[in-house]
Structure 1
């Protein structure tokens, strides 16, 4: 099976022009079909402040009201996405900027209201992803650059978690490709001691993850990313790698640094 990399870049890189330039230089050197999923960083909040649109968070998650969905659609799907695409094109990388609404590549539903109404926030319907349309892009040397937006099929855009989007894309593609999902952020990997950057856990499987979680050795903020990783593994993704954005190229090889997650 052909190797495909699904790579998610964190907002901390998006917010740092120098780090972003370096990352995209490395990304364009990956000589395999690839998908880049990006977050929005803090740009939407900054522009929202200028426009009088207040950011509202509950448990670290943005409440997306009518004004905010317009804002993040403009910023994530427009400004950030097209700047990344333009930089990749300047490097000779045939990037195409998309959202989940384009070609209905990521059907989603508006998140049901439970205890909190998150507004125009979407949950991807993983079983409805049209893999054949993704194949058309990848097999014709297009490099999808995906903004963290989906749609509900009723004409509404939805703000959507980029980590989850990367995971479900990797899961869908794993039917036809050998997929490695990479989460690139500001740490060298998953740390056994959050205060010690040298305490990288180089390999995690389901059993070791359960043990570390039971012992309370994992930073709470990393747990959603790990849950996404193991959900992807359970759905057929061969490997998930969580590591530093600066180590991207090495982490597309067999000699990885960071935390490699397998079944």
Structure 2
């Protein structure tokens, strides 16, 4: 099988133009088929504040009412996505920016209301990925760049977690490629000591649960790691969590394994 890398870049890197430039220059040096997934939450919040649209969050998740959906569609699918695509073109990479609605590339279901109504938020599964479209693009040397938006097939865009999109893409495409999933962000990996930046080199389910129960691994890292283990259990070859400047260093960061 041909190798495919799916890379998710964290929002803090996107917020900083110098960091993003560095990351995209490294991304452009890669020769194998690659898909990029990005968020853009802080930029959406900043522009929302300018427009008088207040961000409402529950456990770190954005409540997406109709007004907020318009905002994130403009920011994720427009401003952030097209800036990234334009920068990749400047680096000699033929990239195409996608929401899940484009080419029906990722179909999702609106999250059902339980204790919390998250609004227009999508839950996506591998069966919703248009594998044929993505394989065709990759075979033409085009690099898809996904923002954190899917659609429900009934005319509605859906705000969707970028970590989850990356994981689901990795699982869906593992039927056609030997897939590596890489989460890039502003830390050097999963940390056992935040102050000294001590990296956990290898994380398996047993020590993950130990670190989580002791509170060493907490908050936003937990859903990221849950997505990582889900991907491995569903057939993805390898998952790494690394600093955004170490994209092409295969020895860096944390390797997630079963």
Contact 2:44–2:71 at 8 Å: present in 1 too?
Answer: yes
| Shift of residue 43, structure 1, vs aligned partner | 1.1
| Shift of residue 77, structure 1, vs aligned partner | 0.2
Give the counterpart of 2:257 among 244, 247, 262: 262
Aligned-partner Cα distance in 1 for 2:218–2:115: 25
Aligned-partner Cα distance in 1 for 2:216–2:87: 39
Mapping for residues 97-176 of structure 1, pairs under 5 Å? 97-176=97-176
| Shift of residue 45, structure 1, vs aligned partner | 1.0
Give the TM-score, by structure 1 length.
0.95
Contact 2:212–2:218 at 8 Å: present in 1 too?
Answer: no
CA deviation vs aligned residue, 1:155-183 (integer Å, no higher than 9, x gap): 00000000000000001111111111000
Query: Counterpart of 1:59?
Result: 59
Contact 1:106–1:150 at 8 Å: present in 2 too?
Answer: yes
Q: Gaps spanning 5+ residues in structure 2: where?
A: none
Aligned-partner Cα distance in 2 for 1:59–1:207: 25
Aligned-partner Cα distance in 2 for 1:45–1:80: 13
Aligned residues: 258
Query: Counterpart of 2:246?
Result: 247
Q: By percentage of residues, which structure has more strand?
A: 2
| Shift of residue 215, structure 1, vs aligned partner | 3.9
| Shift of residue 222, structure 1, vs aligned partner | 1.0
Deviates more, 1:218-227 or 1:67-76: 218-227
Aligned-partner Cα distance in 1 for 2:158–2:219: 26
Residue 50 (str. 1) matches residue 50 (str. 2): yes
CA deviation vs aligned residue, 1:106-131 (integer Å, no higher than 9, x gap): 11010000000010010113223221
Aligned-partner Cα distance in 2 for 1:39–1:214: 28
Q: Secondary structure at the match of 1:71?
A: helix
| Shift of residue 142, structure 1, vs aligned partner | 0.6
| Shift of residue 220, structure 1, vs aligned partner | 3.3
Q: Gaps spanning 5+ residues in structure 1: where?
A: none
Contact 1:64–1:118 at 8 Å: present in 2 too?
Answer: yes
Aligned-partner Cα distance in 1 for 2:13–2:68: 22
Query: Counterpart of 2:10?
Result: 10
Q: Secondary structure at the match of 1:165?
A: helix
Contact 1:10–1:41 at 8 Å: present in 2 too?
Answer: no
Does the C-alpha gap of structure 1 residues 28 and 114 become closer, same or farther in structure 2, counting only changes over 3 Å?
A: same
| Shift of residue 239, structure 1, vs aligned partner | 0.6
Q: What is the CA RMSD across the aligned residues, in angstroms? A: 1.1
Residue 182 (str. 1) matches residue 198 (str. 2): no
CA deviation vs aligned residue, 1:164-216 (integer Å, no higher than 9, x gap): 0000000111111111100000110001123320x101011223323333444
Deviates more, 1:45-54 or 1:9-18: 45-54
| Shift of residue 146, structure 1, vs aligned partner | 0.5
Residue 207 (str. 1) matches residue 202 (str. 2): no
Deviates more, 1:114-123 or 1:44-53: 44-53
Aligned-partner Cα distance in 2 for 1:186–1:66: 31
